[in-house]
Amino acid sequence: MDLILKYFTNLTDDQISKFQKLEALYQDWNLKINVVSRKDIDELYLRHVLHSLGIAKVVEFKDGSKILDVGTGGGFPGIPLAILFPNCSFHLVDSIAKKLKVVDEVVEGLGLTNVKTTHSRVEEINDTFDFIVSRAVAFMPTFTHWVKGKIAKEQKNALKNGILYLKGGDLTEELQDYKTVTIYNLSDFYTEDFYETKKVVHLPLKFKRLV
């Protein structure tokens, strides 16, 4: 928890309380339904919570923003971002029902009112969003195909609407065909060794009306 306070110094008492509750909730539910590895659960704030909040180092979502979290798994990056941005709405999607069971219980345990979950493939979500976030669930060309037609037309944030992707390693080949992509190194924001090769990838996407 100290890690969160180290990099996010303007949290409200309610936000601090919710972030503090995360560890116990995940440890409890992870014993019943394994969604986070044992090593990672012991370093939940470093490897999952702070990593998810790396997106907030790149853009501060304006109130009223709608964010879709694709392949949310145990609720990352969606849940930490939902705590940080209580006036934005977050839609967390995963194709594996047992993972969403944990997400639903954590959301309920925290009393989050700005999160909804859907058990489905992202292609079946019929809505548009300011941003689509994810933690490297697929190769970027595959991912952009999945989320086609899901970007909102109206711009309300400092960054253009599109994908915000948490990824690591050398992305040169994967992103070579995307001329508008911007890569942010999390090592510019966080000093921990874990973030040495971690990145946030921003890929603006234009609104497209699906026929």
The pLDDT tens digits along the chain (211 residues) read: 899 999 999 999 999 999 999 999 999 988 888 787 777 888 999 999 999 999 999 999 999 999 999 999 999 999 999 999 999 999 999 999 999 999 999 999 999 999 999 999 999 999 999 999 999 788 899 999 999 999 999 999 999 999 999 999 888 888 989 999 999 999 999 999 999 999 999 999 988 765 4
133 annotated among ligand-binding-site residues: no
| pLDDT for 88 | 98
| pLDDT for 210 | 57
70 annotated among ligand-binding-site residues: no
* pTM recorded for the entire structure: 0.96
Angle between helices 97-110 and 13-32 (to 10 degrees): 140
| pLDDT for 38 | 74
| pLDDT for 208 | 73
CA atoms within 13 A on the CB side of 66: 12
Alpha helix ranges (H) inside the chain: 2-7, 13-32, 38-42, 44, 50-52, 54-58, 78-84, 97-110, 140-146
93 annotated among ligand-binding-site residues: no
Give the residue from 62, 60, 71, 114 showing the smallest Cα distance to 89: 114
135 annotated among ligand-binding-site residues: yes
122 annotated among ligand-binding-site residues: yes
H or E segment and range at residue 69: strand 66-70
H or E segment and range at residue 133: strand 131-134
18-76 pLDDT, tens digit each: 999 999 999 998 888 878 777 788 899 999 999 999 999 999 999 999 999 999 999 99
Q: Which residues lie across from 183 on neighbouring strands?
A: 201
Decide: helix, strand or coil at residue 115: strand
| pLDDT for 93 | 97
Contacts of 21 (CB under 8 A, 6+ apart): 109, 110
Per DSSP, 87 falls in state: T
Per DSSP, 204 falls in state: E
Phi, psi at 156, each rounded to 5°:
-130, -5
